[in-house]
Amino acid sequence: TTTSGDSPPIPQHKSVMDTENWKADILASLKEDISVVIRAELKNALSEDIGFLKNELKGVKSEIANNTAAIRTEMDNMKTALRDVEEGVSTWSDEIASLQTIVAELKTELASLKEKNNDLEGRMRRCNVRIAGIPEETGSSSTVAVSKLLKEVLSLEKKHPNPKDHSHRGLTPKRTPKAKRKAPGDYCQTPLLPGQSAGCFQ
């Protein structure tokens, strides 16, 4: 039984709801606090990492700028060296062209000298006759006298042409009448006729 003076009893389901609400409020408060703490920690951590990254980026940027400047300087030096090489090549090209001209002229001169040398050598190798023992008299070395002597010695007929090209006396001391006869000194150079050989005639 109940009396009019007592308060009504609290329902059991209302007490359970209040407990649940209280738990929910506590959990929401904890979540908010945890979220604030996590955000603060993340912000601090990220701020340190971001600062470190900024410093690293600044260092990389400075290094890249220095390397770029060094590369540009090296490229400028290489351009200067290449320009010097090109100028040197141009100079050497001119020198080579000049040397080629000189070599061509020397070849031409050498060919001319060879031709002259061959001509002189051919003249020196002509068949010559040395005649010794001709008395040193007026006209003894003339072409007429030498031709007459050769025709007599070689028994040449009158139909043969003059076998002598030119004649001269050797540069030897004049012998006295009492001096003993020595090696031939007077001679002439004469091309022989075909089939005849050179020799000395006393």
Report DSSP state, residue 63. Answer: H
Question: How many residues are given for the chain?
Answer: 202
Is 177 within a domain? Answer: no
Together in a domain, 104 and 168: no
Q: What Rg value do the Cα atoms of the chain yield, rounded?
A: 65
Say whether both 91 and 108 belong to one domain: yes
CB 134 within 8 A of CB 167: no
Residue with tokens 């703490």: 37
Is residue 27 included in any domain, yes or no? yes
What pLDDT does residue 103 have? 95
| Residue 122 reports pLDDT greater than 80 | no
Q: Give whole-number Cα distances, 38 to 20, 27, 181, in Å.
A: 26, 16, 142
144 lies in the same domain as 94: no
Q: 130 pairs with which residues across the strands?
A: 200
Q: Highest mean pLDDT: which of 61-70, 119-128, 130-139?
A: 61-70
* DSSP type of residue 200: E
Expressed as residue numbers, the domain containing 134 is 126-172+184-202
- pTM > 0.85: no
Tokens of 181: 């006869």
Report pLDDT digits (tens) over 128-171.
667 777 777 777 767 777 777 777 777 766 555 555 555 655 55
Task: Give the tokens for residue 79.
Answer: 């351009």
* C-alpha span between 122 and 128 (Å, rounded): 12
pLDDT confidence of residue 158: 59
Give yes or no: residues 114 and 49 share one domain: yes
Most confident of 16-30, 87-101, 102-116: 102-116
Which residues are bridge partners to 201 per DSSP?
131
Pick 174 or 24 by higher pLDDT.
24
**Which residue shows structure tokens 């290094």?**
63
Residue 5: pLDDT above 90?
no
Q: Which pLDDT band, with edges at 50, 70 and 90, does 18 fall under?
A: confident
Regarding whether 197 and 113 lie in a shared domain, the answer is no
Instruction: Name the residue type at position 41.
Output: E
